Amino acid sequence: MDLLEYQGKQLFARHGLRVSEGRAVTTAEDAVAAASELGYPVVVKAQVLIGGRGKAGGVKLAGDDAEVRKHAQNILGMDIRGHVVRTLWIERASDIAAEYYAAVLLDRSAKKPLVMFSTHGGVDIEQVPKEMIVRHHVDALEGLSREEALAVAEQGGADADVRDGVADALTALYDVWISEDATLAEINPLIVTPAREVRALDAKVSLDGNALFRHPENQSLSDSENEDPIERRAREQGVQYVKLDGDIGILGNGAGLVMSTLDVVAQAGGAPANFLDAGGGSDADTIKQAVELILANDAVKAVLFNIFGGITRCDEVARGLIAAFQEIEPSVPFVVRLDGTNDVEGRKLLADAALPNVHPAKTMNEAAAMVVALAAGQPAGAAA
């Protein structure tokens, strides 16, 4: 779950990280009112879930009412690489002596939190030579100590008089990352002002959606405007759905089974269009909802149902599927693999119903080969 800059800054402020005062607004009139409250000069900033807003013309300095109004009117509705601006952040402008970079993220290969710091901030961090970025792994049980943070600041070449300020910022950023269950907390630029104060001028924060239940106060931060519409629908329906880039719709019962289904389809040369865990649900409504979600993605050319019957019996799933198909009449082929409790009965039900465009399969590998062939416009038997 990605946060807008101003939402990230609000989290920063809660953890003692210094940010500039500002207001979120949605109209040019409110932008002017906010600016005169804050005092000039201000910065008018597009709030979209994509970086490089400055270069795209989405960040502008303004010295008076007329300038704020002009920039607000220009930026509202602006399309920044596919993201339409609906909210502005009006912030008291800062004087900048230096632009640094700081981030905390999880280094999966090292299985440790990673603190990154560079005195070459303000630009795309991918463009900064590796040797100019300090990478410091943190012991997750110990946390980031003040000594470590100071060492990182020094190693990165922060001016001596701001090392304390940088260490404060790094420890606060680490605190944001760990205690808010963030997957990324990034500041670019972390500025040094002429008065030698260290402050976050930008904020890029992603929260772990699966940990959101631990942070009810963050629930409202999800910017559903920018969320994928199918994922949003799924979330509202309480279905575990993740959109992927391929053209083969996937449904399974149980997260582990769905994950291995994705693997098997990829191995058979196909590209999954989604992850969908139907859980223990097998009634017609659940199946119908799931089929509708999968087919809401226009890229889907064929669908694989991979059901392993346990507590959820295969005959129940077959009945659910038959009822769902009567209502939806899907236009793309379905491969259905039923195995486990009552699988023989389930397959017989499906065969008797003779649903158009439904191809039963016995094993996962067979099912994957069939669905890959069907998605490529070949007959189901082509790959088998």
Q: Which residues bind ligand GDP (CB under 6 A)?
A: 43, 51-54, 59, 93-94, 96, 99, 122, 188-189, 201-202
Q: Which does 299 bind (CB under 5 to 8 A by kind): Mn ion, ligand GDP, none?
A: none
In the complex, the smallest distance separating the C-beta of residue 202 from Mn ion, rounded to whole angstroms, is 4
Q: Binding partner of residue 43 among ligand GDP, Mn ion, none, CB under 5 to 8 Å per kind? A: ligand GDP
91, 186, 316, 366: which is the annotated catalytic residue? 186
Q: Count CA atoms closer than 13 A to 366's CA, side-chain side.
A: 10
Catalytic choice (101, 174, 180, 366) = 101
Which residues does residue 23 pair with via DSSP β-bridges, in sequence order?
90
Q: Which residues bind Mn ion (CB under 5 A)?
A: 188, 202
CB of 14 to ligand GDP, least distance (A): 19
Residue 72 three-state SS: helix
- Least Å distance, CB 81 to ligand GDP, is 11
101 assigned to active site: yes
* Peptide bond just before 41 cis, omega within 30 deg: yes
Residue nearest to Mn ion (CB): 202
The helix (run of H) or strand (run of E) holding residue 277 is strand 274-277
Annotation says 142 is catalytic: no
Select 105 or 322, whichever has its Cβ closest to Mn ion. 105
Decide which of Mn ion, ligand GDP, none touches 52; Cβ closer than 5 to 8 Å per partner kind: ligand GDP
Binder of residue 252, out of Mn ion, ligand GDP, none (CB less than 5 to 8 A by kind): none
Whether 101 contacts 188, CB under 8 Å: yes
Instruction: For the CB of residue 124, give the shortest distance to Mn ion in the complex, in Å.
Output: 9
Long-range own/partner contacts, residues 195-200 (CB < 8 A, 24 or more apart):
196/97, 196/161, 196/162, 196/165, 197/18, 197/165, 198/18, 198/100, 198/162, 198/165, 198/166, 198/168, 198/169, 199/18, 199/19, 199/20, 199/94, 199/169, 200/9, 200/12, 200/17, 200/18, 200/19, 200/169
Catalytic (active-site) positions = 101, 186
